[in-house]
Amino acid sequence: MGVVIGSEHLPKFGATKEERYDNLLRQDSRLAPVAGGAERLTPVLEYTNYQLVSDRMVGPGWALVGDTAGFIDPVFSSGLFIGMHSAFALADAIRSGSAAAFRDYEREVTHHLKIWHEVVGYFYDGRLFTSFHVGHMLRDNLLMRLAFPHVNKHMGRIFLGAASTSPYSIRLLRLLVRHGLKDEDPRAMAIR
């Protein structure tokens, strides 16, 4: 089980990462009913860069789902989508019971996480905001007025969670952030 918590809250749970993790599971009002009596079998891993994708998501008798399989910067609230989507996909793999189904599950979740990393990268490097800015600058252009409803529909799908499930929407986003910047420098809108 993974826990994301601000470092300012950690000292009240203990001095070591193991104490903090164990005490957090026992003391937190939401975690205690689920995992308060659990026995930790492995060392506690701590990450300060909270974006990660696990190298392995399934094995004999275990599977990772949601944020335990991979965690993406929550700038677009992708965690709930990834958690729910991966839970349903894992349920399908379990129902199938075949090794191929579990490999497909792992491949699908890895794909979703990689796409979300890409989208978040466009947010931070300024390409996303720059493409929106250029679209706004060209709003009176006839071609843009015709294309806007289509582009808007697909960008909306991306930021509502369907990013990793719509190859067309992702290709459109890539087109916009690579070729739709109209000589504008995205570094001016980068998040620092």
Number of domains in the chain: 1
Q: Looking at the domain assignment, is residue 8 inside a domain?
A: no
Q: Looking at the domain assignment, is residue 62 inside a domain?
A: no
Alpha helices in the chain (DSSP H): 17-27, 32-35, 78-96, 99-125, 127-137, 142-157, 167-179
Report the chain's terminal Cα–Cα distance, integer Å.
31
Q: Looking at the domain assignment, is residue 99 inside a domain?
A: yes
What is the 8-class DSSP label of residue 70?
E
* Domain containing residue 104: 74-192
Going residue by residue through the chain (192 aa), what tens digit of pLDDT does each one get?
A: 777 787 888 899 999 999 999 999 999 888 889 888 888 888 998 766 667 788 999 999 999 998 889 888 777 777 788 889 899 999 999 999 999 999 999 999 999 888 888 888 898 899 988 988 888 888 888 988 898 888 888 887 777 776 667 888 899 999 989 988 888 999 998 887
Residue whose token pair is 């989508």: 81
Q: Looking at the domain assignment, is residue 20 inside a domain?
A: no
Q: Looking at the domain assignment, is residue 131 inside a domain?
A: yes
Q: Looking at the domain assignment, is residue 68 inside a domain?
A: no
pLDDT score at 40: 87
